[in-house]
Amino acid sequence: MSVCMGELVSDTLRALRRTGSEEDKASVERMVNRFYYDICRSIPVKELRRRIEVDLSDEDYDNGMWLPSNLADILRVKDVDDDFDYIHRDRAAVDDVERSWRYYDYIPTDGALASGEDAIVQKGATTFTSAMTDDHTGEYIKFGKEPGFYLLTAAKTFTPAYNGKRLDQANYVIRPMGTRKIICLDKTGDEETGNSIYVDYWEMPPPLYLETDMPLLPSTRALELYVMREAMLIIGKRTLSATTFERDIDKAMADLRRLNPVVSAPLHARDVTGEIFQLNTDPFGER
């Protein structure tokens, strides 16, 4: 069962007997989004799963190809033409002796693509004003301390709409630090720069601002518990044991994982080179 933003906030304040405080309300709203994002980053929520096609031969290829800034994590990487899966490897654990198609993702140290300190964003807007003149259409932008990622559809137009409080002379960052790149390796360990791949992933959700906003979770029980525990500590100044709510939170998170299962790709028997076994070929592959 899920509850909307307004109900989640009001239930928390009512439990703390602080319904008349606008400051406490704002504090709980921030808690809701913080824990909402923590949950969505750790669990591949079905409603947030996406697929993009990445052309590894693109002229923008430079030590990998950029992935969307709002990516939470990757579920699967698959070759577009030949329909095989790339095996995920940690960047530090790539073994040149391994004869299989692999990929790894990493965070470059380049920093953000662009940034500024003069953004003005109105509540409900899909545009912002700034002295910025460069066009970064297709990249994601973040504003101030707000948690959301917004896709630039034009130089100063974005989606979805921003529903937080008006921002005046706010910091903004385009393709923020933390955006990842992906590198694919062929069977010889060389970077693959000729194919296209599908990347299945899940993304971070839009923030919750309006009272009617519904978290994109099949159940908000874990979110409610996280927020209640934090509010009791920070706002209610209550002393809680280290295990308070722990069992209920663990159960609620387990229920969320059960409600958002990751479907495994079909398994095919493969030879040592990663090719699917064929009855008319040597099952041990070429040596």
Encode pLDDT of 182-197 as tens digits. Answer: 999 998 889 999 999 9
Q: Is 180 within 8 Å of 77 (Cβ atoms)?
A: no
Percent of the chain with pLDDT strictly greater than 90: 77
In this prediction, residues 32-61 reach a mean pLDDT of 97
Could you check whether the bond before residue 160 is cis, i.e. omega within 30 degrees of 0?
Answer: yes
What's the confidence (pLDDT) of residue 46?
A: 96
Encode pLDDT of 203-224 as tens digits. Answer: 999 999 999 999 999 999 999 9
Give every CB contact of residue 276 below 8 A, 6+ residues apart in sequence. 84, 268, 269, 270
**Cα–Cα separations (whole angstroms), residue 188 to 62, 94, 100, 101:** 20, 12, 8, 9
Structure confidence at residue 177 as a pLDDT band (50, 70, 90): very high
